[in-house]
Structure 1
Amino acid sequence: MTKPDWIAVDWGTTHARAWAMSGGDVLAEAPRGPGMGELARDAFEPALLAMIDGWDIAPATPVIACGMVGARQGWAEAGYRAVPATPLAAGMTRVACNDPRLDLRIVAGLSQAAPPDVMRGEETQIAGFLSLNADFDGAICLPGSHSKWVQISAGEVVSFRTMMTGELYAALSTHTVLRHSVGDGWDADAFAQAVSATLSRPEGLAATLFSIRASGLLGDQGPGQAAARLSGLLIGAELAAAKPYWLGLPVALIGDATLAGHYATALQTQGAHVIRTRAETLTLHGLTAAYRLMKG
């Protein structure tokens, strides 16, 4: 029977993951559980217990959790730490549990006053990356529904910006006239051309978006080309806005392999030095760093 020294939990909006840990080693991974979006506050503890059912949990076993579990709508609000700051701190939000086997602590997110911005969950991945790359100075990009661009210097998050690129893609491709054009498939050349178009002229984005629909009506543009063009236009506009983060600096990409690959292609066409990573591995390294901070 699996007997963890501590339990690592990454609890997002759509699903939760938990690992039985011994120091920095994974003993076992639990089946995925429901995300924050599906749970009332009093349902988090039963959901976690269902995930780790079958493990031999000693009394007061530390549970270190990150992600949306600490949001206002989560198990308990963990708050934010203002940047500039290290990604993690020893002080975490301790949550009382009904089961005496659980000693739960939630990692705080990070906040920025001007321009106003917040992150929750990404700080743990950043900490994981820095635990493996202690001397890194540059930018970290975390592509996704809400992409994050993060400036790192001397082990601290100096500033960051959130771009709603992924959510814009989902909305435009399913709830606008572009839904009639965008479909499955991919065209690398169409993507590269679209990135270049909005990187050089981001103010033309609205007009260029409609050209995706017009090209499908007047030419032989297929659904894969349309998908690649839409993605390229939006990522190009994001890179234009994030240029102070990546221009002349190394960029570490943390995220889904396919999406991160598109960002890597776009950045490399601009001469950026790109570092690819494995997001899940970094989350575990970050949770391990938080556990060690807690232990002192």
Structure 2
Amino acid sequence: MSETGIKADWIAVDWGTSNLRCYAMSRSGTVLAQASSPKGMGQLAREDFEPALLELIGPWLAGPTDVIACGMVGSRQGWVEAPYSTAPCPVLPDQVVMPPCDDPRLKVRVISGVQQIKPNHDVMRGEETQIAGFLSLNKDWDGVVCLPGTHTKWVHISANEIISFRTFMTGEMFNLLSQNSVLKHSVGGAGWDDLAFAEGLELAMSRPETLAANLFSIRAADLLTDQTPHQARAKLSGLLIGAELAASKPYWLGQNVCVLGADGLSKIYTDALQAQAVPVTQTDGTRMTLAGLTAAHAHVKETV
């Protein structure tokens, strides 16, 4: 629920597939209040977006208020489709889209995502805003941003532009294999084993073509040895992330790398990259999203 008694100068919105997160902001970019709900894009019909937003931010509205939104709210199935910018492109696009609103207090602008046509087809929505936040706090930074998640992205940045990027379904594969394959009988819990992770990482990086066989070995080790569910979980993660690092090597080899996301998963990627002697900076995804929405708000004000 929203805090009462707060009046926002503008409102930052991170609207993903599963969750809606809103922040009442001051002119200086300070968070005055925040609220969230499970009413993500995936659960809403188009006519439900405005009521879901007002449910959280209504108490913060004193009059016409800028609302800057990023994420899947701008997808084809979202409130309004915000056309992709095409890489190479500036991190903050000039184009934003305004969905129709019945409440006159709402001045909503949705940030466009980014698409890539060559050398491979790829898309992102929301990550571009996190990257914009990182660059707003790290001026003139060039390198590669890794955004771990269900669909991990590797993004080459130069001169404040997205040059190219590649998405890996590593997180989704981990969930599918650990919950819906034969490995569900072996992988369990939330524990961790550094040695098992390192073993899986090394196996997949040195011989990624053996990934499918090494995955089954996790099940076999459960049947034939005293392997624990925590060890199996860590080795599965190591194998999948190792295969990803082997495939993404053209992005991270010889580059400065920023790992941007939630602490737990980001640390796993950071440790894996540091094991390859890659210079890595780790930073918080929520903080970068807010910094990116703040930069986008200022950018919109300049271009309107």
TM, length-normalised to structure 1: 0.98
Match of 2:282?
276
- What is the rounded CA distance, in whole Å, between the counterparts of 2:279 and 2:37 in structure 1? 35
Match of 1:150?
155
- What is the rounded CA distance, in whole Å, between the counterparts of 1:145 and 1:121 in structure 2? 13
- What is the rounded CA distance, in whole Å, between the counterparts of 2:259 and 2:56 in structure 1? 30
Checking the alignment, whether the CA contact within 8 Å between 2:170 and 2:240 is kept in structure 1 is yes
What do the CA deviations read for 1:66-114 (whole angstroms, capped 9, x no partner)?
0000011110111100011111123201112000000111000000002
Runs of 4+ in structure 1 displaced over 4 angstroms?
A: none
Match of 1:18?
22
Match of 1:67?
71
Give, as a single letter, the amino acid of the residue that structure 2 aligns with 1:63: V
Alpha-carbon distance, 1:2 to partner: 1.3
Residue 240 (1) aligns with residue 253 (2) = no
Match of 2:260?
254
Percent of aligned pairs with the same residue? Answer: 58
Matched position secondary structure for 2:91: coil
Give, as a single letter, the amino acid of the residue that structure 2 aligns with 1:57: A
Unaligned runs of 5+ in 2: none
Which range moves more in the overlay, 158-167 or 192-201? 192-201
Match of 1:208?
214
Checking the alignment, whether the CA contact within 8 Å between 1:147 and 1:166 is kept in structure 2 is yes
Computed over aligned residues only, the root mean square deviation of the Cα atoms, in angstroms, reads: 0.9
Give, as a single letter, the amino acid of the residue that structure 2 aligns with 1:266: A
- What is the rounded CA distance, in whole Å, between the counterparts of 2:57 and 2:10 in structure 1? 12
Give, as a single letter, the amino acid of the residue that structure 2 aligns with 1:270: Q
Match of 2:292?
286
Alpha-carbon distance, 1:33 to partner: 4.6
Match of 2:100?
96
Give, as a single letter, the amino acid of the residue that structure 2 aligns with 1:160: F
**1:1-296 matches, cutoff 5 A:** 1-23=5-27, 24-59=29-64, 61-114=65-118, 115-184=120-189, 185-296=191-302
Unaligned runs of 5+ in 1: none
Give, as a single letter, the amino acid of the residue that structure 2 aligns with 1:77: E
- What is the rounded CA distance, in whole Å, between the counterparts of 2:206 and 2:143 in structure 1? 23
- What is the rounded CA distance, in whole Å, between the counterparts of 1:266 and 1:3 in structure 2? 44
Alpha-carbon distance, 1:31 to partner: 3.5
What do the CA deviations read for 1:166-205 (whole angstroms, capped 9, x no partner)?
0000000011100000011211000011101101111110
TM, length-normalised to structure 2: 0.95
- What is the rounded CA distance, in whole Å, between the counterparts of 2:208 and 2:11 in structure 1? 45
What count of residue pairs does the alignment treat as equivalent?
Answer: 295
- What is the rounded CA distance, in whole Å, between the counterparts of 2:62 and 2:12 in structure 1? 13
- What is the rounded CA distance, in whole Å, between the counterparts of 1:119 and 1:272 in structure 2? 25
Alpha-carbon distance, 1:3 to partner: 1.4
- What is the rounded CA distance, in whole Å, between the counterparts of 1:30 and 1:197 in structure 2? 43
- What is the rounded CA distance, in whole Å, between the counterparts of 1:150 and 1:295 in structure 2? 27
Give, as a single letter, the amino acid of the residue that structure 2 aligns with 1:284: L
